Amino acid sequence: MEAVRVLNDLLARPTQEGVLEGTLSHASFLLGGNLRGYAVTRRGPGQDRVTAVFGYPKALVGTPLSGPWTTARTRALSDGSRELYEANPPELHGILDTCGMRDVALSLVVPVSDRGRNLGALVLDRNSSEDIGPSAQELVTHWAAAVAPLLGLLEGRENWRLAARQVSSAVVEAFESQEFDGLGHAQAVAQASVKLGRAVGLAERELDEVWFAATLHDLGKIHGEQGHPQFGANFLHGVPHLAEAQKAIRHHHERWDGQGEPDKLAGEDIPLYARILAVANAHVRLGDPERLRAQAGKGLDPRLVGLMEKVSAEPPAK
């Protein structure tokens, strides 16, 4: 799925261009495909530049442009690129012509703003005049709003950890609301996993990997229930600093008694983070200490079950 590409790009390559390329790709998917697009970011008044493209030549990246994206609302332009050409000097028209922008019949302009600050816009172009309905426009507007907070964080390539967590949560929440069992499940499992990991004595860097594993553990369900841990683990392929999180996702359906999947690992042969994730996931799903205790020594690590019961009984930290 295109949305997952945004996540993988940020985790492996935390740049505005990487994130916005994936954002444009998923926006096109939400609109049914057959669109091209570009993203502009604002450096200051009159300093808008193309930062990423989807379907347009890469040479367009870096081009300074003015255009119909100064308003704070999503707009569908039935006259295509007319406003774009009118807003820019003749010397830029040749670049726009080379990219085929005179053929655009309809443009959807989606502002990208965070807490009232105008960060830029997504522009999705279609060569046919087929209408983009209000519900489709709303989907893309919500998608842009989910990504917006990341762009400010990435401007100086600082706060990567916070940005990565935000985009992970946004992508998972988007899919939970459509395809997973319950909205907020991943967040609850992540909180329980970190609490359990801290009780085991993991360091903060290790707790970060546990958090990512727990947050992303069900993302593979976009390919269906069967085999989803392997699919989910593949989303972190190419992100070496989350290699342990990748193993945790792959093996969180193993069982302490060796009857799990995919590799029928048993006992402490199952990676620790996977055992932590399995206990935290069961804790959230079962919601009953006795039912969780019944899995100790069968599906789940008995020591971790005991720790989970202990930390879950503790009052929340102030």
Q: Confidence band (pLDDT; 50, 70, 90) for 159?
A: low
Q: Which of 188, 187, 214, 218 is nearest to 202 (CA)?
A: 214
Q: Confidence band (pLDDT; 50, 70, 90) for 161?
A: low
CATH class entry, domain 180-312: mainly alpha
Rounded-to-integer distance, Cα 119 and Cα 73, Å: 13
Check residue 184 and give its pLDDT. Answer: 80
What is the pLDDT of the chain when averaged over all its residues? 85
Mean pLDDT of 295-307: 96
Between 46 and 272, the higher pLDDT residue: 272
CB 232 within 8 A of CB 255: no
Tell which phi-psi region holds residue 74, choosing left (phi > 0), alpha (psi between -120 and 50) or beta: beta
Between 36 and 142, the higher pLDDT residue: 36
- Read off the pLDDT of residues 196-208 as tens digits, 9 standing for 90 and up: 999 999 998 899 8
Beta-carbon contacts of residue 254 (< 8 Å; ≥ 6 apart): 260, 261, 262, 263, 264, 265, 266, 270, 274, 278
CB 215 within 8 A of CB 185: no
Q: In degrees rounded to 5, what are phi and psi of residue 68?
A: -85, 50
- Read off the pLDDT of residues 260-280 as tens digits, 9 standing for 90 and up: 999 999 999 999 999 999 999
From 107-121, 167-181, 258-272, the region with the lowest mean pLDDT = 167-181
Between 157 and 60, the higher pLDDT residue: 60
Q: Confidence band (pLDDT; 50, 70, 90) for 130?
A: confident
Sign of CA dihedral 277, 282, 283, 289: negative
Check residue 242 and give its pLDDT. Answer: 82
Mean pLDDT of 19-27: 86
User: Could you tell me what percent of the chain has a pLDDT over 90?
Assistant: 50
Characterize 49-73 residue by residue with b for buried, 16 or more Cβ atoms within 10 angstroms of its Cβ, and e for exposed.
ebbbbbbbeeebbebebbbbbeeee
The topology under which CATH files domain 2-161 is Beta-Lactamase (3.30.450)
CB 273 within 8 A of CB 210: yes
Would the pLDDT of 236 be above 50?
yes
Q: Within the chain, which residue ranges are assigned CATH 1.10.3210.10?
A: 180-312
Mean pLDDT of 218-224: 73
Q: What is the DSSP letter of 57?
A: -
Q: Within the chain, which residue ranges are assigned CATH 3.30.450.40?
A: 2-161
